Amino acid sequence: MSRKLALLKSAPASARFGLVVVVGYGVVALLAPVIAPYGETQVVGVEFAPWSAQHWLGTDDLGRDVLSRLLYGARNTIGIAVLTTVIASVVGGCAGLIAGTLRGWIDQLLGRLVDVLMAVPSLILTLLLLAICGTSIASMVTIIALVESTRIFRLARALALGIGQLDYVTMARLRGEGLSWIIFREVLPNASAPLIAEFGLRFCFVFLFIATLSFLGLGIQPPTADWGSMVRDNATLISYGQMTPLLPAGAIALLTVAVNFIVDWLVHRSSGLRD
Amino acid sequence: MIVSRLGLGVMTLVAVSAVVFFSMALLPGDIAQQMLGQAGTPEAVANIRHDLGIDRPIGQRYVSWMSGVLHGDFGRSLASGRPIAQIAKGRLVNTLFLASFAAIVSVPLSVGLGILAALYRRRPVDTAINVFTLLAISFPEFLIAYLLIYLFTVEARWAPSLAVVGTDTPLPERLHKTVLPVMTLTLAVAAHMTRLTRAAIVNVLASPYIEMAHLKGLIAWRVIVRHALPNALGPIISVVVLNLAYLIVGVVVVEVVFTYPGLGQLMVDSVSKRDVPVVQASCLIFAATYIALNLVADVASMIFDPRRSL
């Protein structure tokens, strides 16, 4: 515990700022139903009401409280992004480690498949698959997880290839250890630092991606509160000089910056690079 | 080397076209059944299946679709029944106009800023550029777009927030209407290019011949421009071209925000209507452009770095 505290103290200001922001978002996401003054989809007043004592940030295009939807949006947007990143990391990470450790035809097959999928820009590929599967949260999570897992596959495979050459892994092979032992007890512990940093970066990417899809009207569907679609629904207010629609977009940007700071620090620490 | 890279590009394109086509086979249910809904009699469904050509084996359909595409025939839209080539042509021209306008602005800007940051590294100018580019990377494109609308349309009343152009819009008006979309794209793309240009030059600056140039008493900017830049040119050019490929994707969101009649907007509309043939066609066009630009990046870096083509 004290070692962890010392580690936190050694963190640069940017990483500390990032940690504070991420923890803050986590608390808001977990406690949304407690701290939100109104319900997620409750219509509480006239449309586009200005900021007031009852509605701190006014109301949206259907007369729902913007502050409440912003708080619930933290829960939905971040929750779905975390879920997607976890699925992508587990699928891509396992496939990559297996391909890098086993080599042979499995590696060739998965490698070529990933090459083809990565040859198409991820937004374009996702739009194609969404057109085919229809726009629902389940299909969006599956599709983005699949598209993002290709990136994690590349990294995990490269790591497994490198670590697989080391003496202690050869020793384990000669001892006759099984595939799962070699992957999870020998290769994975050594590959974990870059994989964790990659998880953070992927999270940023997935989070922005989901926000963008929701903004395009193809991601999280109404009436679920979500930051991307909140920008879309209230965008008309901007032409009247109101900043309210930019708040959810700002919330997205702040979290992305915060996670980037933490990832930078982790990469810095694990690689020992100075510049 | 270059020839084999070109061959690989063509193979990738064929593989991608197969993915684009066969992913439709994953479609749960039957398009004909869906179009008719509950009311569809088996005969009517069979008729539509025949009209759409989906009663033939899938391999045969792929070959005829592909030969159509190579002749510029992408089939017909499910929603409007019009030929896709006719719908997409004008929009592709608009998208290419927007992307090239953005490229003309962003490439010199970001290479210049990258050189500046490398020249004054670890000084205030470098830090400012670093912070600014990190912010620009973290902002979703639509936030940048709306911030610009807020600043330049609402506050300054200087540029229009809607970029609705037709085929007969004259060039000056077209340029004025696309100012904000281009600024959005520039901010989104230039950040990456600036950071990587700086990294490429800083990388070269560690070499002994740069130290030699300094020791000869050359002034700093001359060392950078005449000695460091030529050797960093390979990586910079590939970064620039890769970011142009990224422009192709960024265009989708920007077109929706500014209701610019381009290919990206068409694709997003068609996804929500589930007009699969149009989505397939636009996906293929975007993917082909992307693959072609990646190819150019690789070939260019081979030309500028002879060691790579050995």
Q: What is the CATH number of the domain that holds A143?
A: 1.10.3720.10
User: What are the mean pLDDT values of chain B's consecutive 10-residue runs (310 residues total)?
Assistant: 84 87 69 66 75 72 82 78 84 88 91 87 86 82 85 76 72 82 90 87 84 87 83 81 81 88 90 85 89 85 70
Contacts of residue A253 in chain B, CB cutoff 8 Å? 135, 138-140, 143
Alpha carbons A50 and A58: distance in angstroms, whole number: 5
The two tokens of residue B196 are: 């990587």
Domain presence at residue A193:
yes
Domain presence at residue A133:
yes
Alpha carbons B216 and A107: distance in angstroms, whole number: 52
A193 Cβ under 8 Å from any chain B Cβ = no
- B287: helix, strand or coil: helix
Provide the pLDDT confidence category of residue A234 given band limits of 50, 70 and 90.
Answer: confident
- DSSP letter string over A80-123? HHHHHHHHHHHHHHHHHHHHHHH-HHHHHHHHHHHHHHHTS-HH
Judged against a pLDDT cut of 80, whether residue A11 lies above it is answered with no
Render pLDDT for A165-184 as a digit per residue (tens, 0 to 9): 889 988 998 998 888 888 88
Domain presence at residue A10:
no
- pLDDT for the residue numbered A86: 96
Q: What is the pTM of this model?
A: 0.84
Q: Please check whether residue A60 is in contact with residue A233, taking contact to mean a CB–CB distance below 8 angstroms.
A: yes
Q: ipTM of this predicted complex?
A: 0.81
Judged against a pLDDT cut of 60, whether residue A189 lies above it is answered with yes
Domain presence at residue A216:
yes
B193: closest CA of chain A, how far (Å) = 18
B233: closest CA of chain A, how far (Å) = 21
Among the partner residues B28, B253, B274, nearest to A216 by beta-carbon distance: B253
Domain presence at residue A71:
yes
Contacts of residue A117 in chain B, CB cutoff 8 Å? 19
A64 forms beta bridges with A43
Alpha carbons B75 and B78: distance in angstroms, whole number: 9
Q: Report which of B198, B177, B309, B307 is spatially closest to residue B254, judged by C-alpha positions.
A: B177
For the four alpha carbons of B46, B48, B50 and B53, in that order, the dihedral sign comes to negative
Judged against a pLDDT cut of 70, whether residue A271 lies above it is answered with no
Q: Please check whether residue A212 is in contact with residue A204, taking contact to mean a CB–CB distance below 8 angstroms.
A: no
Nearest CA in chain B to A228: B142
Domain tally, chain A = 1
A contact residues 116-135, partner B, Cβ 8 Å cutoff = 116-117, 119-125, 127-135
Domain presence at residue A52:
no
Among the partner residues B137, B246, B267, nearest to A127 by beta-carbon distance: B267
**Mutation site, B244, B271, B295, interface A, largest A CB count within 10 A:** B271
Mean pLDDT score across all residues of chain A:
85
- pLDDT for the residue numbered A273: 46
B23: closest CA of chain A, how far (Å) = 7
Provide the pLDDT confidence category of residue A275 given band limits of 50, 70 and 90.
Answer: very low
Alpha carbons B228 and B200: distance in angstroms, whole number: 9
Domain presence at residue A19:
no
Q: Report which of A268, A205, A249 is spatially closest to residue A15, judged by C-alpha positions.
A: A268
Q: Give residue A210's domain range.
A: 58-271
Provide the pLDDT confidence category of residue A4 given band limits of 50, 70 and 90.
Answer: low
Contacts of residue A133 in chain B, CB cutoff 8 Å? 26-28
- pLDDT for the residue numbered A88: 95
* Lowest-confidence pick of A31-40, A49-58, B96-105: A49-58
Contacts of residue A238 in chain B, CB cutoff 8 Å? 146, 149-150, 154
Render pLDDT for A98-155 as a digit per residue (tens, 0 to 9): 999 888 899 999 988 898 888 888 888 999 888 888 778 888 999 999 999 999 999 9
Domain presence at residue A141:
yes
